[in-house]
Structure 1
């Protein structure tokens, strides 16, 4: 299920970061079409428009934003009952990236249920204005959404969150570095095992030979990345897939090449080889924040004991909010990034308003609250912390956490 706590700020504007037919508002691309269609046809229309999805909303601020975009017209949302008179669910065609205003196969929130206008029998689809149940065969306008894409420069191919360029002509190692720099990129450095597998398969479709990459021997047997002279963590690579450490047996020079099968070896730097350039779109995250690539949210992790209210204030000072991770994939990505070390981090979920009724700082019921064993039922504790991939209830004092997690959405604001 995609999470979209943040409401894109500003007006709709044309943007090279959105597909044809979409305009950008914050970090989300919207396509508003005034032609009337049934719910099913609207779903197909959005899917055909650069694989977009029907819009969905979880709070009143998002609903107001949609009203601004559509001018209060009758527009389909992605909410539909699974069967006649069954509860409404968000029901776009496919899963979407987090941070986009579209949800997948999940029940509408408690807020949406309480806000939805009275529903007549057979009115099994959800629409604007407000949250209005309607017959799915009625004709209404379309509001489609997609994640804004930072885009790849001309000649580069998309590989996950990065852009890859494979040269058509060979060059020496130094000439390869210069060519990449002229393309506002760098000679590819294999820092991420998953990305390396994508790069390998992508480059192999263009050239099947060896390619220079951004590794060079600094001292005998000590290979470093050329951009910052840091050491690669080859232990992360999957040698069974042909992606492994530099083979000592192939060492014949201080510069590193990658074969089509992903195996790394070294060669004389004056040899002529194809090369790989990597361009990462300018990050939308503020300095110090990290994005995992599968979400438009940016995360900031701070270590140090502080009361929850102090952590909340510090996140606000960074233009962020004390975080709630509302998606299992994001939680898993955070755990991978943060490591498996025990560390209790304040979250934005509490039951300070009403005992044992846990809500986010927006007053919403959390869609993901993975309680640890024996947690979530204490009658006196009001705050929660995240420890690896489970949540615990606790006091709000500084001794109950070792740090905190702030979440920021680029180009967006959050209503407190």
Structure 2
């Protein structure tokens, strides 16, 4: 058996020429680019490490999740939400929409294709994207494929990998510890004391969900945070901000939003929710920090059902010591500590991305790099940013497609390797 494994591992990867771009990621970003390319008649290949589209939504989100913005700001290009969907679609409804989107545009990703590396070969002037299939280590090695194309579209997005911070003593805690990506509902926490680490939209909503199931949550708020009402006088706060941005300077839009938030929510700082000195829209644009849109958690904070606590000093068996000296006895820890881009792990020899996995070029010009490199889903502007980037990318590639198609159909020889075409 050992000899057989050795022989399998010696097999070189199969090389495949792609007529059109390689899209890495079959989430909303990858689907949006694919649909726009279809409109231009440009073929493509989507490589997806999971076994389904939108794996973040399907496998790593909690049950009560709804879109935080009205549906008109979340639909993908050329395919609106159904008229009978509510203004804030549920998780299931959004997944159904994405499945319908893929079916409508006949988008068929190559699933279980985990990209190990992508690099631009200057000798060939082409992108080399190496993937490994699912299965055992030996079988995966035998399923290595190197896809080759003129264009590469990075569509893995801002939330590819979970962020798990190093917390002193967490390994000694002894209770249940999970990241929010594995949390589904508060059913298993009924009657338990849960510490939720993180106060973003997910942290707030998890605390609310825990309350609904009879748990006793405490939420760690280490940094300042903007909490805004989801709606003001029946209109989406996001929609209101977008409207104001057409007429007012950024600083005045932020000031207006904060005045409205104070009128609707009151002074949230007295509950331990300090506001940043930078306004909510500016902070989102410059640092990617999304304001919390309240869907009910603030009421539970006011009533004391959700306790707001400061940063963590250390964990010990069954309890946690906070930076203010208080000690809480807890049963479980839920890490609502967010996600990060994983692009630096696999995109090689390219300085278009910074160390945090985002394009160095700021919005709105971060969608295009050099040598046929494109990015979608890194604008920090949600699904509306995805849609605008997808249209730009498809228009740009589509304008070059006719000439490039002639070159792509010629026999390809690169470093003496035999290359099949798709």
Larger Rg: 1
User: Whose helix fraction is larger, Structure 1's or Structure 2's?
Assistant: 2
Task: Note whether the superposition's TM-score is higher than 0.5.
Answer: no
TM-score when scaled to structure 2? Answer: 0.25
Q: Which structure is higher in RCO with an 8 Å CA cutoff and minimum separation 6?
A: 2
